[in-house]
Amino acid sequence: MPKIKKSIRKILFCAAEAAPLAKVGGLADVVGSLPTALKNQKIDARILMPAHSVIALKKIGAQKLASVSVVAAGKSEKVVIYQARVQNITYYLLQNKHYFIGNVYEGDNCRKYLFFCRAVLVALPFLPFRPEIIHAHDFHTAPLIMELSRQARIKRPGLILTIHNLQHQGWTENKTAAEFGFNEANFPAVAKSQDGQWLNLLAGGIVGADKITTVSPSYAREILTPAYGQGLEKLLRSRRHDLVGILNGLDFKEYDPEHDELLAWNYGRRQLRSGKALNKKVIGDYFNLSPDKVPLLALIARFSNQKGLDLFDLKLLSALAKKYPFQLILLGSGEKKYEVLASNLARALPDKVRTIIAFSEPLAHNLYAAVDYFLVPSLFEPCGLTQMIAMRYGAVPIVRATGGLKDTVKNNKTGLVFKKYEAAVFIKTLETALRLYYQHPEKYQALQSAGQHQNWSWEASAPAYRKLYLSI
């Protein structure tokens, strides 16, 4: 009889962030929602992450499982292992009073996550769960993959590393990594700097993983090229047979305008226009704008060079506003340079632009519900969730053709897409969008409704993960 491969069921996600416990960006959305989708695939996926001090352990009913000692930076550190059940998913949370202070990326991230990886290695035998696969996410947990890959395959779990963003690779000085027990001698040559002083944590994980994934098919192709490979394209090419791009899904329960508890007004598909008008009025009143008369645009993002803020050229925008009036809300925080740029735009165009430097889930949800167009003019975008959320809420996305944006938005069918990363090209696309809104409302509405009918839930992608887990 042919042998039937046992189906793998126990997966442990190791990651820096997971919604709803702690969120900074899309990584949290994905780590927090994929385990629920995998349940339908008969996979028990649990999450192991730091108990960042912003997480209210009591409030989520976290129970202490064990306390262990972790040697790091010449000291013995106490790490308490907690277990919690949140939205029917089991979390293991590692608490330490020195390293996991504040929010996800506060402090020195290399030290914080090298410590986390070291703590995970100590804590694993104390968990009441024997994972068949460890699924790590981004550079923060890549050292774990590298370290475990040194064991014989028969003795260790399968190892998967998902790259959510190649821009962040975790370059660390040799001596810093050594403080946490990650010795330079164990890193592959491709993960070392030319001067021999620095280590690339992500590259170490890429070499060690059995399989590597990234978050959209287009990004999986792009990162093999110098334009998008961020210096790791050669290494990634050498592993291309083990690299797969799986499009992120959206938590369709969380992002559902009909039931979203954060919205001023809920609306189903049939009330799209009236529902959006009500939400638009609430936002208009709140920000002292008058969007009932003009199209309302928004951008919600981490403010970094990735997100296309450099394309918001003041002169071109004010000229456009004279031709086709619009109002624009920018919500985000991050690099100072972009916070200043966005604030300056609002100051220069006080009757047209509002900038809110903050991370606010309630405001974000209400903006998705209120706006007519949603802007994602990214320089690069591994997947991007905001354009999918926007479509679900009936806001038409205007995106640059890159990575996951290319895979999810079809020009003139579900949104507007431009290619060249240039302010003039971006503003020209905005002009096309505004003209459409003013002069061809029926065409605008067709885009809106086509976007709303797309299925961005995990339904399509969860089976691809199952297939991957079974292939190891």
Q: Is 434 in the site for ligand ADP (CB under 6 A)?
A: no
Q: How far is the CB of 309 from ligand ADP (least distance, A)?
A: 12
Residue list 22-81, contact with ligand ADP (CB under 6 A): 25-27, 29
Q: Is 334 in the site for ligand ADP (CB under 6 A)?
A: no
Choices 10-18, 21-29, 66-74, 263-271 (CB under 6 A): range interacting with ligand ADP: 21-29
14: DSSP letter: E
Q: How far is the CB of 378 from ligand ADP (least distance, A)?
A: 8
Q: What residues contact residue 102 under an 8 Å CB cut-off, 6+ apart?
A: 52, 53, 54
Helices (H), 291-360: 314-323, 336-348
Nearest by Cα to 16 from 116, 96, 107, 90: 116
Say if residues 354 and 289 touch (Cβ distance below 8 Å): yes
Residue list 364-383, contact with ligand ADP (CB under 6 A): 364, 383
- Exactly one of 11, 161, 301, 423 binds ligand ADP (CB under 6 A); that residue is 301
Which residues, listed in sequence order, are joined to residue 172 by a DSSP beta bridge?
199
Residue nearest to ligand ADP (CB): 26
Residue whose CB is less far from ligand ADP, 9 or 302: 302
Q: Is 16 in the site for ligand ADP (CB under 6 A)?
A: no
6: DSSP letter: P
Choices 85-93, 261-269, 317-325, 360-368 (CB under 6 A): range interacting with ligand ADP: 360-368
Q: How far is the CB of 282 from ligand ADP (least distance, A)?
A: 17
Nearest by Cα to 402 from 385, 386, 388, 419: 419
Residue whose CB is less far from ligand ADP, 318 or 343: 343
How far apart CA 390 and CA 367 sit, in angstroms, is 9
Q: Is 253 in the site for ligand ADP (CB under 6 A)?
A: no
Choices 289-297, 342-350, 358-366, 455-463 (CB under 6 A): range interacting with ligand ADP: 358-366
Q: Are strands 171-173 and 75-86 parallel, antiparallel or unpaired?
A: unpaired
Q: Is 199 in the site for ligand ADP (CB under 6 A)?
A: no
Residue whose CB is less far from ligand ADP, 297 or 389: 389
Choices 67-75, 172-180, 233-241, 298-306 (CB under 6 A): range interacting with ligand ADP: 298-306
Nearest by Cα to 208 from 141, 124, 301, 284: 141
How far apart CA 100 and CA 3 sit, in angstroms, is 46
Give phi and psi for 347, each to the nearest 5: -70, -40
Q: Is 403 in the site for ligand ADP (CB under 6 A)?
A: no
Q: What is the CA radius of gyration of the chain?
A: 23
Q: Is 384 in the site for ligand ADP (CB under 6 A)?
A: yes
Residue whose CB is less far from ligand ADP, 148 or 342: 342
Tokens 């993002």 belong to residue: 301
4: DSSP letter: P
Structure-block tokens of residue 345: 């735009």
Residue ranges binding ligand ADP (CB under 6 A): 25-27, 29, 300-302, 331-333, 359-361, 364, 383-386, 389
